[in-house]
Structure 1
Amino acid sequence: MKSTTHIAAAMALLSGAADAFWRMECHSRLGLARLDPIVEPGEVASHAHVIHGGSNFAEDTTYEDLRDSDCTSCRVTQDTSAYWTPSLHFVYENGTTELVNQVGGMLAYYLLYGENITAFPAGFQMLAGDTRLRNFSGAVPDPEKSLWTAEDKTQHNLGQKALGFNCLNYAKTPEGSMYRHFLPDKEYMDANCADGIRAEIFFPSCWNGKDLDSTNHRDHMKYPDLVNDGTCPEGFETRVPSLFYETIWNTAAYNGVGGQFVWANGDPTGYGYHGDFIMGWEVDFLQSAVDTCTDPSGEIEACPLFNIITEAEAAKCTLKNSVVKALSDDDCAGPADGLCGNVPIQYGPAYASKLNPGGTAPPTSAVSLPASSGAEASTTSIEAVPTLSYKAPTSAVTDKYGGGISVANVNGGDVSVGGERHNTLKTTSSSSTTPAAAIPVVTSAPASVADSESEAGSIIATSTYTSAGTVYEVAIEEVEVYVTVEAAAPARKRYAHAHAHHMHHRRDKEHGLLGRY
């Protein structure tokens, strides 16, 4: 159920142009290859990526190279930027791997949070995420942003919160973007994610105003203190467009099939998901787009500056440079005996070992899956990850156009854009959206304490989260407090109203869990 209190509070946090954005549609893949000109320039990359954008993408691509592209796999011809993320693969029980199909390619959102937004400069590049991470250090799920502590707002934790793995079920109200920061296990996906998984990553938007890159490709950028919006750290006050990638993967095609999903970098958890970006716009044009393309629908057709091509035209664009000879034997799509580059699966929770670029031998043996007990996988063990119930968003920048960040139109209903289906249930402040069909969940949250109001006041909001095996439930109660103020003369009473927030806890007898505060 959508709370009008939550929606109003969230929308109040958004500044003037916060609901302005455009959604760059890159429905066709430029290529699938072990190329990464940011992290491993001039070499065969350690693992595979799905690549979208300008055709002049290679092992050592520069801004000038991208500007010289003959075409782009995205639908706006002025954008020859490069966008890439790891590919998702399915590992069968016999160790054979194959590429999971993308649905609708990739969307790159340019969200205009903050004030005085500056276009990316020529030569700018960055990445988000850490390919070697295999755990999550924060509470699950995230606390309400208004309750975030200094620990929640460290750059490390903000970066982890910038990942999302959205469980898609078009028969239900859509989940909020970046709600779940790990890849659900296959049992959960089979039971809940009838329409696949949407991988999401939000890039930092606070720039130091001088460096086009940094040694680790991160230090010239920082996240604002609410991930997508908020206050930029000192020294990083220059706001650039907030980039957000989303890619839908057809995991539902493997429903009931034995095996597991793993990213091309050998990560089965999702914690090591990452994305890369090289700026490919003409700078002045991008600045004009930032200033002009502010229609809240996010549709590229709503921007008068963009030269838009059809999906069919964009699909004709492929890598301009012939793939380096060392990659000629790669079979990243499979079926193959293992991941291309001979990448091992590393479960964590320890930091994964570094993958070395340059490997040219094709996989010679199938990937080994862990024992069914989940206790051991080669020399590493699987970290127990929390389970989150399917949960609809309460608010987002584009709430009025649909749940989460993904939107396709403003009229409501399920629509398809280039094969990528989006649920665009319309939200209003006076109504709630009821799922059309109930889908079983792996873990159910305890019943809401809002079912019965306290004598003192009324419950205006509740939230639950699980940490270390304990279910916590927080209720925010609105209480009217009367304060008597004595005047010198004549004596009279004045009443001031205040809001007091109380936290309640109760024992969930069914699960035997105590919510502690």
Structure 2
Amino acid sequence: MNWNLLVVAVALAAPSVHGFLRFGCSNLVTERFDPLVTPGQVSPHVHQVVGGNAFDLTMDPNVDLAKASTCTTCRFKEDKSNYWTAVLYFKARNGSYIRVPQMSNHNTGPGLQSGGMTVYYFQPSAPTKDLNITAFAPGFRMLVGNPMRRKDDIDPNTAAAQATSFRCFQGADPGAIGAPGAPPGDTFHLPKQVCTGGIRSNIYFPQCWDGKNLDPADHQSHVAHPVGPGFFGTDCPATHPVRLPLLFMEINWDTRPFNDKKLWPKDGSQPFVFSMGDPTGYGQHADYVFGWEGDSLKRAMDQCTVPDGLVTSCTTLTLQTTEQMNNCRVPVKVPEVVENKWLKQLPGCNPIQQGPGYATMVKRCNAVSTTVNAHLPTYAPSVVVPPWSVCNAGPTPEPLTPSCDSIPGEKPVPAPGATPPPA
């Protein structure tokens, strides 16, 4: 994708630029929960989770994900972390909802992952004063964004203003070269036009830490964005002086089944809404729980400095195939339907709240609040074929694009094309 081209172009101009990790993570489970938001401030809503299979709804801070997980949905076997984001739904003209599928990102092959996201870990780059980073520690958690937000109310001169954004794809075109989150290429609200190739969520986590707290009650105050409007080449504030890897995520929503505006509301307004009842996109948020094995993340940050982001360039970590990623799953424990079926309302107590005021908590919620002991899913993972290529079939290798046979055991990649919407 063009993000890689930007990084390499900068690297050629400034040799001091460090590298980064870029890898896919398939979907682990889709379920209604939200353990990292403050109780009483937001109703539990549907999220999709990727990463290690030690994930549990209780999110017990004493559980070491790296040791408790037996598999991970991420490309690198050492990464047993959990990453989760709110799920996007399509609201049809008749008022019913259906979950929007997800698809593989550009240049994430070989193989097609089942939903999920693309995860990045960036090393700091000049002119940042401190190029040394501290890897996340066991027990570390953080949350970025506010699910109750419904308007663009953050100072545009701060990095926080660009932490969550969207890219509207037209066909297979990846969009303009540039870091995600920069207008006019990206928007901070959900795109209002038809995006024929899908919509991508772009999410930057804070990269500055207070050096003390692993997970405060609000899951946010221990971390901060760098000073100023950007994420690269900037410095940490004095209150949070410890530099962390810059964690960035991309989620590609397959909105192609809903491109026909005859399915949209009669007034022509955009039809997509996040699971917490947010039709604006300003409430986009994400959560992270550290779970890398031993010193593997720190080792990768120190040794994998090639600025191409290809997983095969980071030989200190262990790769697995997309099939192995896709088949690492956990059962749904909340007994309710949240996907693959048209719904009369969003799961949980999450009515549409347009704003511009902040969303409010629904009182006397009667949604399902218990869990069950469920079995592992036995059906095959769902895979969507995106409109773009995920790897290079040759015969001449393309820079920054993984070869379609670069990982032993990987299955052939289907040709680009859309799949039908969920039944």
TM-score scaled to structure 2, two decimals? Answer: 0.74
**Aligned residue runs from structure 1 range 20-39, under 5 A:** 20-26=19-25, 28-39=26-37
Quickly say closer, same or farther: Cα 1:215–1:16, change in 2 above 3 A: farther
Alignment CA distance shift 1:284-1:172 (3 Å) = closer
> Retained in 2: the 8 A contact 1:63–1:278?
no
Measured against aligned partners, the alpha-carbon deviations of 1:331-387 in whole angstroms (never above 9, x if no partner) come to 34431111111310111111111367985349xxxxxxxxxxxxxxxxxxxxxxxxx
Change (3 A) 1:414 1:70: closer
Cα pair distance change 1:296/1:137, threshold 3 Å: same
Query: Residue 123 of structure 1 aligns with which residue?
Result: 139
- CA drift at 1:266: 0.7
* Aligned-partner SS, 2:30: strand
Matches within 5 A, 1:278-293: 278-293=289-304
Instruction: Report which stretch shifted further, 75-84 or 250-259.
Output: 250-259
Question: Partner residue of 1:231?
Answer: 235
| 1:350-369 alignment, distance < 5 Å | 350-354=357-361, 360-361=367-368
2:398 is matched with which residue: 411, 418, 421?
411
Structure 1 residues 302, 194: closer, same or farther in 2, change over 3 A?
same
Q: Give yes or no for the alignment of 1:48 onto 2:46.
A: yes
Question: What is the deviation of 1:16?
Answer: 5.8
Higher RCO (CA 8 Å, separation ≥ 6 residues)? 2
Q: Which moved more, 1:201-210 or 1:17-26?
A: 17-26
Partner of 1:258: 264
Q: CA deviation at 1:330?
A: 3.5
Distance 1:173 1:36, change over 3 A: closer
- Trace 1:328-367 onto structure 2 (pairs within 5 A): 328-354=335-361, 360-361=367-368
Q: For 1:464-483, list aligned pairs within 5 A.
A: none
Q: Distance in 1 between matches of 2:312 and 2:226?
A: 29
CA distance in 1, matches of 2:205, 2:58: 22
Q: What one-letter code is carried by the residue in structure 2 that aligns with 1:31?
A: V
* Distance verdict in 2 for CA 1:254–1:278, change over 3 Å: same
**Counterpart residue identity of residue 336, structure 1:** L
Aligned partners of 2:318 and 2:300: how far apart in 1? 12
How far did residue 17 of structure 1 move? 5.3
Computed over aligned residues only, the root mean square deviation of the Cα atoms, in angstroms, reads 3.2
Residue-pair matches, total: 345
Structure 1 Cα separation of the partners of residues 312 and 363 of structure 2: 43
Deviations 1:186-220 (A, max 9, x none): xx1x2xx2210011110010111111022211110
Equivalent residue letter for 1:346: Q
Instruction: Write the letter of the residue equivalent to 2:181.
Output: M
CA offset digits 1:383-407 (Å, max 9, x no partner): xxxxxxxxxxxxxxxxxxxxxxx99
Separation (CA, whole Å) in 1 of partners of 2:358 and 2:311: 40
Structure number, greater radius of gyration: 1
Tell me the amino acid that sits aligned with residue 218 of structure 1: Q
Contact 2:43–2:276 (CA<8 Å) still a contact in 1? no
Alignment of 1:198-277 (within 5 A): 198-225=200-227, 226-229=229-232, 230-256=234-260, 257-259=263-265, 260-277=271-288
**In structure 2, do the counterparts of structure 1 residues 82 and 134 end up closer, same or farther at CA, with 3 Å as the change threshold?**
same
- Contact kept in structure 2, 1:263 and 1:270, CA below 8 Å: yes
Seen in structure 2, the aligned counterparts of structure 1 residues 16 and 47 have a Cα distance that, compared at 3 Å, is farther
- Partners in 2 of 1:137 and 1:83 — Cα distance? 26
- Partner-residue secondary structure (3-state), 1:286: helix
Identity among equivalent pairs (%): 36
Q: Is the 8 A contact 2:11 2:17 kept in 1?
A: no
Query: Residues 169, 126 of structure 1: CA spacing in aligned structure 2 closer, same or farther, 3 A cutoff?
Result: same
Unaligned regions of 5+ residues in structure 2, if any? Answer: 105-115, 126-130, 266-270, 370-388, 405-412, 417-423
Deviates more, 1:198-207 or 1:44-53: 44-53
SS in 1 for 2:291: coil
Q: 1:280 to 1:337 in 2, by over 3 A?
A: same
In the TM superposition, residue 408 of structure 1 has moved relative to its aligned partner by 6.5
| Separation in 2, partners of 1:14, 1:203 | 26
**How far apart, in 1, do the equivalents of 2:146 and 2:13 lie?**
28
8 Å contact 1:106–1:248 — kept in the other structure?
yes
What letter is aligned with 2:205? F
- TM value normalised by structure 1: 0.61
Partner SS for 1:102: coil
Match of residue 59 from structure 1: 57
Q: Give the Cα–Cα distance (whole angstroms) in 2 for the partners of residues 281 and 357 of structure 1.
A: 39
Pair 1:242–1:101, CA change in 2 (3 A) = same
Aligned-pair CA distance for 1:323: 4.0
